[in-house]
Amino acid sequence: MAANLKQMMETANAAVPKITPAEAKTLIAKGGTLILDVRDGPEVQASGKVAGAVNISRGMLEFRADPDSPYHDKSFARDKTIIVYCASGGRSALSGKVLKEMGYPNVYNMGAFKDWAESGGAVEKG
């Protein structure tokens, strides 16, 4: 049976805990955290990104996260806590679900970049 976007989002949101920027800051302070920006390059260039975040567009995520892929990004490790965000929270929820399916156990959806910026979180220009 084919799934529609609404169903996919419900499944992703049920699988990946949503956290606030304040909760993300607490996790980041503990160390061992990968902050993952899954927006496209032009979006990051226009607004900046969370300080220290790795930008991997949603379309390349599986290639970068898989250790067996020739495109693997060494920032990914299964023992890290991964905090994913995007422009509004949709891509980050879907990304988080994929990462969990790929064996990354500690994945959180911080939602929208603007929420981080508005909360006073550190931002660096893309």
- pLDDT, residue 35, reads 98
| Structural domain 16-121, CATH architecture | 3-Layer(aba) Sandwich (3.40)
- pLDDT for 1 beyond 70: yes
Render pLDDT for 80-122 as a digit per residue (tens, 0 to 9): 999 999 999 999 999 999 999 999 999 999 999 999 999 999 9
What percent of the chain has pLDDT above 90?
A: 96
- For the entire predicted model, the pTM comes to 0.94
Domain boundaries, the chain: 16-121
Render pLDDT for 35-52 as a digit per residue (tens, 0 to 9): 999 999 999 999 999 999
pLDDT tier for residue 2 given thresholds of 50, 70 and 90? confident
Q: Are 116 and 91 in contact (CB under 8 A)?
A: no
